[in-house]
Amino acid sequence: MKPEQLEAAKERLLKMRREVIREVQKSQEAYKELGQDGVPDIGDMSSTSYSRDMLMNLSEGQRQLLRDIDAALERIASRDYGECITCGEEIAPRRMEVRPFSRYCVECKSEVERFGE
């Protein structure tokens, strides 16, 4: 990749990272507020429990996204960004545009999904 493409990808990833962190902070604030509005009845407790579970699942997905973004930033620093970590071939520019944290080309990603990572 050209240096200007790497810089643009880095900026896009850093922006995504800031947005995810902001979402995580909002989720944590919402989690703390659940069930704090008085004496709950059984329906309130069930609803609160479900909401907390949803927020915890959401934050796990966000944590994984942060790990993916950080790994992509490391690949930019090491000049491996845009190369498939399995076959070493260039990942299609359009794929990198849509998913700037992609680690695999389409063919290798299909294999990984079929057989697991």
The CATH classification number of 1-81 equals 1.20.120.910
Whether the per-residue pLDDT at 11 is higher than 70: the answer is: yes
pLDDT: is 38 or 2 the higher one? 2
What digits encode the pLDDT tens for the residues 51-85?
555 555 567 788 889 999 999 999 999 999 999 99
Task: Report whether 108 contacts 87 (CB < 8 A).
Answer: yes
Please indicate, yes or no, whether the overall pTM of this predicted structure exceeds 0.85. no
Helix (H) or strand (E) holding 106: helix 106-115
The pLDDT, as a whole number, for residue 55 is: 54
Q: Taking CA 85 as the corner, what is the angle to CA 90 and CA 18, rounded to the nearest 5 degrees?
A: 90
Task: Report whether 52 contacts 34 (CB < 8 A).
Answer: yes
The pLDDT, as a whole number, for residue 31 is: 62
The Cβ-side half-sphere exposure at 40, using a 13 Å CA radius, reads 12
What digits encode the pLDDT tens for the residues 12-39?
999 999 999 888 778 767 666 655 555 5
Closest CA to 71 of 3, 13, 15, 19: 13
Report how far residue 104's alpha carbon sits from residue 95's, in angstroms, rounded to the nearest whole number. 10
State mean pLDDT over 91-115: 93
Number of H helices, E strands in the chain: 4, 0
Whether the per-residue pLDDT at 48 is higher than 80: the answer is: no
pLDDT: is 115 or 55 the higher one? 115
The pLDDT, as a whole number, for residue 33 is: 63
Q: Where in the chain are the domains?
A: 1-81, 83-117
